[in-house]
Amino acid sequence: MYRYDDFDRQLVQERTEQFREQVKRRLAGDITEEQFRPLRLMNGVYLQLHAYMLRVAIPYGTLRADQLRQLGMIARKYDKGYGHFTTRQNIQYNWPKLDEIPDALLDLANVEMHAIQTSGNCIRNTTTDQYAGAAADEIEDPRPYCELIRQWSTFHPEFTYLPRKFKIAVTGSPNDRAAVKVHDIGLRMHQNDAGETGFEVIVGGGLGRTPFVGKTVRDFIGKNDLFSYLEAILRVYNRFGRRDNKYKARIKILVHELGVEEVRRLVEEEWEQIKDGSLRVGDEEIAHYIAQFAPPAFEDLSDDDADFERHKAENRGFFNWVRSNVVAHKQPGYAIANVSLKPIGGIPGDATDTQMELVADLSEKYSFGDVRVTHEQNLVLPHVKKADLFALWTALDAAGLGTANLGYVTDIISCPGLDYCALATARSIPLSQRISERFGDLERQHDIGELKIKISGCINACGHHHVGHIGILGLDKRGKEFYQITLGGDASQDASIGKIAGAGFSEAEVVDAIESLVTKYIEIRESGERFIDTYRRVGMDPFKEVLYGDR
């Protein structure tokens, strides 16, 4: 895993001191809240409904054990004993005090972490596949490139006051687990005809009030040229992106209004002028970063482990967990273990201080001290010996972290909603809890199979509802919450934006509505079809009928 060198360390330390000064100036009244706002946002500090909120960056969702342990400590010391993992693979603390935040940032800096650019109209935390470096289906580990993007984008002097925020996601696998097609820039690693590995560059995807699946602006860019190409895209966006209307300021609107051909022309024209400049990254430098993400010292193991098989046969709970939460690893004898932060009836993505510390300990014991955060708000121990899975699950389960529901109907993405967020128009957490309880029965969940429910408490779509197989959007109608249902969304390599099924439902009705959709699916599905497959085959009408009948 990447370790800071003295340059990285110094940069974060200087930033911490800089923010301490800015907070001091604010508390002394030297700068107004309006002047302070962009400064605090650039350091991840939001003002929410009840308190300040601190959003800490977890670059490309990769954590070391000592970092996760520190996140637990920070939850205890500065918050109410928990944190919330977000769809950008970050963590949010909901109750820090402004005058203590500089100390929290110092505690983060001590474990090579920060909150830089987790907000503001700048390039945000780059996200990637949570199974990077472990997945059996991966072309190459995307994290060296993510780290290079992290450095390139950190305090980029030209791109810190963009028209709007800017999000980049990278996948090194053809099976896209990073939702790259709904990002401002999505990078999909693949090989060209010459056998070189590079990236397809997808631009202008996004959710929010105008969702779009991104469009390919260039089919292949070589690794050495990636950074100059990114700079060209950002320069075009910075210069030509709309600034007259906040809701039309994302690059997706520029792509939509100019057309992808024109955007391509502008980008290529810009790139032509900078491609041979100092942003060209040499093979040696890339190799240096690849070396930093070298695989851990795997043992030479047989892929079959008798004890593992025996435990599966003997213990139904373990069998279930393996069935849903354990994924194939590229190294024989190893597996990827997903730690669900979606206990039945719980708050999606929340983890307590002690849970974080436990997962940190377990990662040291079983996964080379490596932990991942997923954009679906779960944790991953990426490198676990099959022989250790039972012991791992036993420890997780005892701490409420052994829920066997990955990818199931209760593995819900939810934004914080009106319980915390100043922008929300409806609550999303309580609804996700009701749905989770309704479908709590494990055998039923398994029978339903993969079904991604995503809930947003407002049109900004932090809960990714547009790309939920079933999406739920909470709105406000004359002081009452109601929920709009969308169907057919998908964040994977087959990305699509869900369609609105019809009129919204009251809070009391919506869980029944979801259940009737699921019942219909079970009734009409063909063998092996997931909900999304059935929807694609039969379309909206059968589902609309169960929701609205003759209405």
Partner 1 sequence: MAIVKNDSVIEQEWITVDAEGDLPSSDENLIVPLARFKEERDSLLGRNGGLGVQLNPGDAPEDLADDLDRLSIITVNFPAYTDGRGYSYGRVLRERMGFKGELRAIGDVLRDQILYMHRCGFDSYELNVDGETALTKVRAALKEMTVYYQPTGDGRVTAQSLRERRRAALDQKAS
Please identify, using beta-carbon distances, which residue of 166 and 439 lies nearer to partner 1.
166
Q: How far is the CB of 17 from partner 1 (least distance, A)?
A: 8
Q: How far is the CB of 99 from partner 1 (least distance, A)?
A: 20
Q: How far is the CB of 93 from partner 1 (least distance, A)?
A: 24
Q: How far is the CB of 348 from partner 1 (least distance, A)?
A: 33
Secondary structure of residue 443 in the 3-state scheme: helix
Residues listed for the chain: 551
305: which residues sit within 8 A by CB, 6+ positions away? 333, 385, 386, 387
The Cα 522–Cα 166 span in angstroms is 39
Q: How far is the CB of 11 from partner 1 (least distance, A)?
A: 4
Please identify, using beta-carbon distances, which residue of 28 and 194 lies nearer to partner 1.
28
Q: How far is the CB of 21 from partner 1 (least distance, A)?
A: 8
Please identify, using beta-carbon distances, which residue of 35 and 175 lies nearer to partner 1.
35
Q: How far is the CB of 125 from partner 1 (least distance, A)?
A: 15
Cβ pair 341, 375 in contact under 8 A: no
DSSP code at position 281: P
DSSP result, 507-528? HHHHHHHHHHHHHHHHHHPPTT
Please identify, using beta-carbon distances, which residue of 168 and 327 lies nearer to partner 1.
168
Beta-sheet strand order (sheet of 379-385): 62-64, 370-373, 379-385, 334-339, 326-328
The Cα 98–Cα 36 span in angstroms is 12
Q: How far is the CB of 373 from partner 1 (least distance, A)?
A: 23
Residues that bind partner 1 in the complex, under the rule CB under 8 A? 5, 7-8, 10-11, 14-15, 17-18, 22, 35, 38-39, 121, 151-152, 154-162, 235, 238-239, 243, 273, 277-279, 285
Q: How far is the CB of 302 from partner 1 (least distance, A)?
A: 40
- Apex CA 530: angle with CA 527 and CA 532, to 5°? 135
Secondary structure of residue 219 in the 3-state scheme: strand
* Burial class (CB within 10 angstroms; exposed 0-12, middle 13-18, buried 19+) of 459: middle
* Burial class (CB within 10 angstroms; exposed 0-12, middle 13-18, buried 19+) of 283: exposed
CA 442 from chain centre, in angstroms, equals 25
Please identify, using beta-carbon distances, which residue of 44 and 463 lies nearer to partner 1.
44
Tokens of 485: 């249902």
Beta-sheet strand order (sheet of 185-191): 127-128, 168-171, 185-191, 197-203, 215-222
Q: Show the 3-state SS of 174-193.
A: CCCCCCHHHCCEEEEEEECC
Please identify, using beta-carbon distances, which residue of 154 and 445 lies nearer to partner 1.
154
Q: How far is the CB of 364 from partner 1 (least distance, A)?
A: 29
- The count of other CB atoms within 10 Å of the CB of residue 153 is 23
Please identify, using beta-carbon distances, which residue of 150 and 525 lies nearer to partner 1.
150
Please identify, using beta-carbon distances, which residue of 250 and 454 lies nearer to partner 1.
250
